[in-house]
A and B are shown apart, each in its own frame.
Chain A
Amino acid sequence: MWTLFFTFFKIGLFTFGGGYAMIPLMQEEIIAHNWLTLAEFLNIVAIAEMTPGPIAVNSATFIGYQLYGVGGAALATFGVVAPSLIIMVIFSHLLAKLRASKYSVALRGVAITVTALIAAAVLGLVKPAFTNYADVAIALAAFVLVAKTKISPILIILGSGLLGIVLYGYIL
């Protein structure tokens, strides 16, 4: 069980940028330990993609459970977030220091660059997410609703999912 914790600690520690950036290292570690076959691993990635939450956390929980039950799930999940706990507490101090320093203006540029990162992510998502006209219609409706009304993004997510069930299950 120590190996399980340590492996997910390593995955949490050495994967920058979250999400998909974590998959190659995860795959390497998990296959190397013979915890899952490649097909099983890809299955988990697919499940993680369509369930809420960070992919790394989802995989840790699933594999931990697979190996040692609920306790293993908790241990692997704790392992994958433990590096974040340590590093983020340190970064929080650094951020506070930077905000109070004479270089705080740097953060104004940084905020703009992060906005560009998000915009670029959207551009990258358009192609895989828009496969037909229904997708485009759902996206436009979601944008208008979030921009022009007070409806919460949560309701929009739930609504679009229900729409998907009706649309793809019964109409298209």
Chain B
Amino acid sequence: MSMQLIWQIFSSFFKIGAFTIGGGYAMLPVMQRDIVDRLGWLDEQEFMETIAVTQSAPGPIAVNTAILIGKQMAGLPGVIAGCLGAVLPSFLIILAIAIFFRNILNWQPALNFFAGVRPAVVALIAHVAWKMARKLIGNTASLLLFLTSLALIIFVPKLHPIFIILGSGIATVIWASSQKQQGKEA
């Protein structure tokens, strides 16, 4: 296993960690550009599978994703490189704030910076959703699944996403086997 790959895993997730402002899905735009478009480690389908797994498990999604992709690319050294990369930017920044800069919440330029970033991040995440939808929704059945999932998430907020993800997987297996059945009968 090459050191270069380990370094790439570390530096990619360091970059992702450093620019995940606003938590959770804010990591997606940088990750998509870096891991999917630039490095080609995952395609869109695998990228969404990865997010499904990492958000169905306990722990911060960005850290989970770094560990999962690190593991798949380079085994245990990849796990350590990904995890360190994802955690180190937060760790260093928070440490600096805790030591030198406790009143950052009263420092107006920092608040203004964040006020500018917040709407941009929403747009960037929207673009990821748009790109994934265009790539993955190819027929009526998949569009139906997308809309059903969306409706469940929005209108049944008490239903944890894990169950919607599981239900979707099971429904797809059933649908696929019924298609096969029809194929045989025809």
Contacts and interface: CB of A to CB of B under 8 A. Distances in A.
A88 interface: yes
B168 A113 contact: yes
Contacts of B59: 12-13, 15, 18, 56, 80-81, 83-84, 87-88
Report which residue of A18, A46, A156 has the largest number of chain B beta carbons within 10 angstroms of its beta carbon: A18
A1 interface: no
A85 interface: yes
Contacts of A153: 19, 29-30, 33, 124
B150 to A, nearest CB: 4
Contacts of B95: 61, 65, 70, 73
A167 B108 CA distance: 12
Contacts of A20: 23-24
A138 B120 contact: yes
* B interface SS class: helix
A122 interface: yes
Given A43-B105, A92-B72, A84 B60 contact: yes
* A interface SS class: helix
Nearest to A53: B90
Contacts of A88: 54, 57, 59, 64, 67-68, 71, 79
Band of interface residues on B: 35 or more
A112 to B, nearest CB: 5
Contacts of A15: 58-59
A87 B114 contact: no
Interface of A: 12-20, 22, 43, 46-58, 61-62, 65-66, 70, 73-74, 77, 80-81, 83-85, 87-89, 91-92, 95-96, 99, 103, 105-123, 125-126, 129-130, 135-136, 138-143, 146-147, 152-154, 156-157, 159-165, 167-169
15 contacts: A15-B59, A50-B21, A53-B94, A54-B86, A58-B90, A62-B98, A81-B59, A95-B68, A108-B45, A114-B165, A122-B129, A139-B119, A142-B124, A154-B19, A160-B119
In the A-B complex, the 7 residue pairs with the closest CB atoms: A164-B116, A53-B90, A109-B172, A54-B60, A160-B120, A106-B169, A111-B48
